[in-house]
Amino acid sequence: MNSLSLIATTLCCIVVFGGLPFSSNAQLDPFFYSKTCPQLHSTVYQILFDISRTDTRMPASLIRLHFHDCFVQGCDASVLLNKTSTVVSEQDAFPNANSLRGINVINDLKTAVEKAPISLLLR
């Protein structure tokens, strides 16, 4: 194994196993929404299921929408911001013109989740 391959392999192992001093030790809770919004998963599932039955391309369009959001400066949901007097929306950018299918589905999901009962039992 040449030295460049050895260095690359070593760095990959360090990153994967968390040995770097700047690695993240975030304590994400996979059950967070089951505590704060117990209806979240079933609400999102039902809307996506219904949409995919009427428009079979929508799941792929949602993945593409996620890609467009994450591609340039990271996954920050900036592509979902609507144009206002103070916000220049990425939805209106030339590369995205007529190609961001699924924003209406995201808005429907957001509305449905906001209407779902919220638990006040935060840690």
114 labeled binding residue: no
pTM above 0.85, yes or no: no
Does residue 2 belong to any structural domain of this protein? no
Which residues make Cβ contacts (< 8 Å) with residue 36, sequence separation at least 6? 118, 119, 121, 122
Residue span of the structural domain in which 44 resides? 29-115
Predicted local confidence at residue 66, as pLDDT: 84
Tell me the C-alpha distance between 90 and 71, whole Å: 12
Q: Is 108 annotated as a binding residue?
A: no
Q: Considering 51, 62, 68, 102, which one is annotated as catalytic?
A: 68
Condensed to tens digits (0 to 9), the pLDDT of residues 64-92 reads: 888 877 776 777 787 888 888 888 888 87
Query: Is residue 49 included in any domain, yes or no?
Result: yes
Query: Is 41 one of the catalytic residues?
Result: no
Total tally of structural domains belonging to the chain: 1
Q: Distance (Å, rounded) from C-alpha 25 to C-alpha 45?
A: 30
Tokens of 5: 């391959």
Q: Report pLDDT for 9.
A: 58
| CA dihedral over 85, 88, 92, 94, signed as positive or negative | positive
**Would the annotation count 50 as a binding residue?**
no
pLDDT, position 84: 87
101/63 Cα distance (integer angstroms): 10
CA 16 – CA 22 distance, rounded (Å): 13
CA angle 99, 52, 75 (to 5 degrees): 50
- Residue 56 resides in a domain: yes
| CATH number of the structural domain spanning residue 77 | 1.10.520.10
| 123 assigned to some structural domain | no
Residue 63 within any structural domain of the chain = yes
Query: Is 6 a domain residue?
Result: no
